[in-house]
Structure 1
Amino acid sequence: MPTREDAYTLMTSHVHNLSLQRHMLSVEAAMRAYARKYGEDEELWGVAGLLHDCDYEEYPDLSQHTQVAAVWLGDAGYDKRVIYAILAHNDLNLETNPRSDLLSKALYACDEVTGMITATSLVRPTKSIIGLEASSVRKKMKAKGFAAGVNRDDLVKGAEGLGVDLNEHITFVIEAMTGIADVLGLAGSDA
Structure 2
Amino acid sequence: MADELHAGMTREQAYDLLCAHNHDPFHIEHGETVEGVMRYFAREFDPDNEEFWGIVGLLHDLDWEEHDDEPEKHTIYAAPLIEQAGGTPELVHAIQTHVSDFNPDLPRPESTMEKILFACEELTGLIGAAVVMRPSKSVMDFNVKSLKKKFKDKRFAAGVNRDVIRKGAEMLGWELDDLFARTIEAMQSFAPDRDTFGTQAENLSE
TM-score w.r.t. the length of structure 1 is: 0.91
Report Cα offsets for 1:41-78 as digits up to 9, x if no partner: 10000000000001100011112210011111122221
**Structure 1 runs of 4+ with >6 Å offset:** none
From 159, 171, 196, the counterpart of 1:185: 196
SS where residue 57 of structure 1 aligns? coil
From 3, 27, 39, the counterpart of 2:10: 3
Q: Give me the whole-angstrom Cα distance separating, in 2, the residues matched to 1:174 and 1:138.
A: 12
Once the two structures are TM-superposed, the CA of residue 184 in structure 1 deviates from its matched residue by 4.4
Q: Give me the whole-angstrom Cα distance separating, in 2, the residues matched to 1:48 and 1:93.
A: 19
Unaligned runs of 5+ in 2: 1-7, 199-206
Name which of structure 1's ranges 94-103 and 112-121 shifts more when overlaid on structure 2. Answer: 94-103
Identity of aligned residues (%): 41
Unaligned runs of 5+ in 1: none
- RMSD between superposed Cα atoms in Å: 1.6
From 39, 50, 53, the counterpart of 1:42: 50
Q: Give me the whole-angstrom Cα distance separating, in 1, the residues matched to 2:60 and 2:110.
A: 17
Residue matched to 2:91? 82
SS where residue 43 of structure 2 aligns? helix
Name which of structure 1's ranges 168-177 and 104-113 shifts more when overlaid on structure 2. Answer: 168-177
Name which of structure 1's ranges 94-103 and 6-15 shifts more when overlaid on structure 2. Answer: 94-103
Structure 1 contact 84–104 (Cα < 8 Å) conserved: no
Q: Give me the whole-angstrom Cα distance separating, in 2, the residues matched to 1:180 and 1:36.
A: 13
Once the two structures are TM-superposed, the CA of residue 185 in structure 1 deviates from its matched residue by 1.4
Q: Give me the whole-angstrom Cα distance separating, in 1, the residues matched to 2:110 and 2:104.
A: 10
Structure 2 contact 32–57 (Cα < 8 Å) conserved: yes
Q: Give me the whole-angstrom Cα distance separating, in 2, the residues matched to 1:75 and 1:93.
A: 23
Q: How many residues align?
A: 187
Structure 1 contact 32–43 (Cα < 8 Å) conserved: yes
Once the two structures are TM-superposed, the CA of residue 10 in structure 1 deviates from its matched residue by 0.7
Q: Give me the whole-angstrom Cα distance separating, in 2, the residues matched to 1:148 and 1:92.
A: 17
Name which of structure 1's ranges 167-176 and 56-65 shifts more when overlaid on structure 2. Answer: 167-176
Q: 2:71 is aligned with what amino acid?
A: L
